[in-house]
Amino acid sequence: MTIKELSGIAKRESYVLAALSGEKRKFALENIAQEIKRNAEEIFAANDEDLKRAEEAGLPMPVIKRLAFKEEKLAETLNEISALINLPDPVGEVTLHRELAEGLILKRVTCPIGVIGAIFESRPDALVQIACLCIKSGNCVILKGGSEAASTNKALFKAIHTAALAAGLPENCLILAESREDVKSLLSCAGNVDLLLPRGSNEFVRYIMENTTIPVIGHSEGLCSIYIDEEYDPEIALRVVLDAKTQYVAVCNALDTLLIHKNAAPAIFPKIAEMFKEAKVELRAQEALLKYADCVKAREEDFDTEFLDYILAVKQVESLEEAIEHINSHSSHHTDGIITKNPENAEKFMNEVDSAGVYLNCSTRFADGNRYGFGAEVGISTGKIHARGPVGLSGLVTYKYKLYGNGDTVGQFAVGEKKYTHKDLD
């Protein structure tokens, strides 16, 4: 069957899945954890195939590292599923309860979105995370992972799908898409697919947006900045900036741009330069800073670059306002922080910087669904619509309005026979 036909079946079965109880979805997740454990050897063997292919193809070390799915990743994955099982059911939450008029009661209740199309990179654990988050939130999902992880994904999918079916979930609540052509087909499934979650480069996410009418929540680049304000704690500044840049360089919440107030620069920049020299990070500094330390002169494009590497662009600014303006026009609206001892400046920065995460005196690396306590994430949204920042369960539900009456008509209100009370209940 084609992805289009499959998505039509998934759409119909999404109503069945949405009607299942939270208990049943919980049971399915327990079953999935067990089945993955039971099939560990098979999954490891499949992963060996992927790793062998990747080495033969000469893929870079960081890609190969992310591709690996062994004992440690398995344990992590099982931990994540068990944390997810223990989170409250995101479906059926009443978020508004209002008497519109006597005997006419409105409830806004969370419900699954329907069918989700997820396109992600070559980390096989991403497949497990996304599938489990979708089941927990009552959504069908079409999964397309990176081709480098094809064998591992297939083995993981088999275990997950078998366990879900055995738990009584509908057959097409989980669909594995395997070819690049499937991605193209997926884009034309408006009406069947309710939401696309692409993860990848800006170009890739933009390509998806340009070629579909399905709503898209994109996980793309994170050009993250930290601004060191005029009054700051140097110990905190050094510690946080080092962690943000070097704790894991290849990820979206790592630091790319450092802004320093002109009155802070003379004292702190030499120390920063020394610290990063030791950490083998290349600093690309704006001209005004070169007199304080020996480093490469930054080009303009460095301030629009997500490095994903041991490189950091540094700029001196005249004021808090200039820092905010720089970030609003150069950052990718992912996560940006301020180091300051001045609480007013902190609030101004956090209110006026237009990013999903605005941080005070801590590392940008905290931008993550697990660290926020969301029970993993399907991605980190740099868009503003529906879900922003780490997208966990609350980003995977929508709501419906339930109105309970007893023969109520709008005509009664039009002629003044009845009156709206608009009284919130509970």
Of 302-361, binders to a second copy (CB under 8 A) are 324, 328, 348, 350-352, 354-361
Angle at 223 between CA 220 and CA 228, to 5 degrees: 155
- Tokens describing residue 426: 């509970």
Binding flag, residue 416, a second copy (CB under 8 A): no
Binding flag, residue 383, a second copy (CB under 8 A): yes
> Which CB sits closer to a second copy, 82 or 409?
409
Binding flag, residue 282, a second copy (CB under 8 A): no
Of 205, 281, 207, the closest CA to residue 241 belongs to 281
Cβ atoms 255, 364 nearer than 8 A: yes
| Residues in region 205-234 near a second copy by CB under 8 A | 206, 209-210, 213, 215-217, 233
CB of 353: closest distance to a second copy in angstroms?
8
Question: Which residue reads 């919130």 in tokens?
Answer: 424
Of 2, 12, 312, the closest CA to residue 181 belongs to 2
| Coil, helix or strand at residue 300 | helix
Amino acid (one-letter) located at 37: K
Q: How many residues bind a second copy (CB under 8 A)?
A: 75
Binding flag, residue 419, a second copy (CB under 8 A): no
CB of 401: closest distance to a second copy in angstroms?
5
| Coil, helix or strand at residue 301 | helix
CB of 292: closest distance to a second copy in angstroms?
23
Q: Which of 239, 262, 271, 277 binds a second copy (CB under 8 A)?
A: 239
Q: Which of 61, 385, 417, 426 binds a second copy (CB under 8 A)?
A: 385
- Tokens describing residue 205: 């996410």
CB of 59: closest distance to a second copy in angstroms?
25
Task: List own/partner pairs for 205-212 with CB under 8 A and 24 or more apart.
Answer: 208/119, 211/184, 211/187, 212/187, 212/188
Cα–Cα distance for residue pair 216/222, rounded to 1 Å = 17
Binding flag, residue 245, a second copy (CB under 8 A): no
> Which CB sits closer to a second copy, 146 or 369?
369
Give 402's contacts (C-beta < 8 A, 6+ positions apart): 106, 107, 108, 109
Binding flag, residue 139, a second copy (CB under 8 A): no
| Residues in region 93-132 near a second copy by CB under 8 A | 98, 100, 104, 106, 111, 113-114
Mask of contacts with a second copy, 19-38, x by CB under 8 A? x-------------------
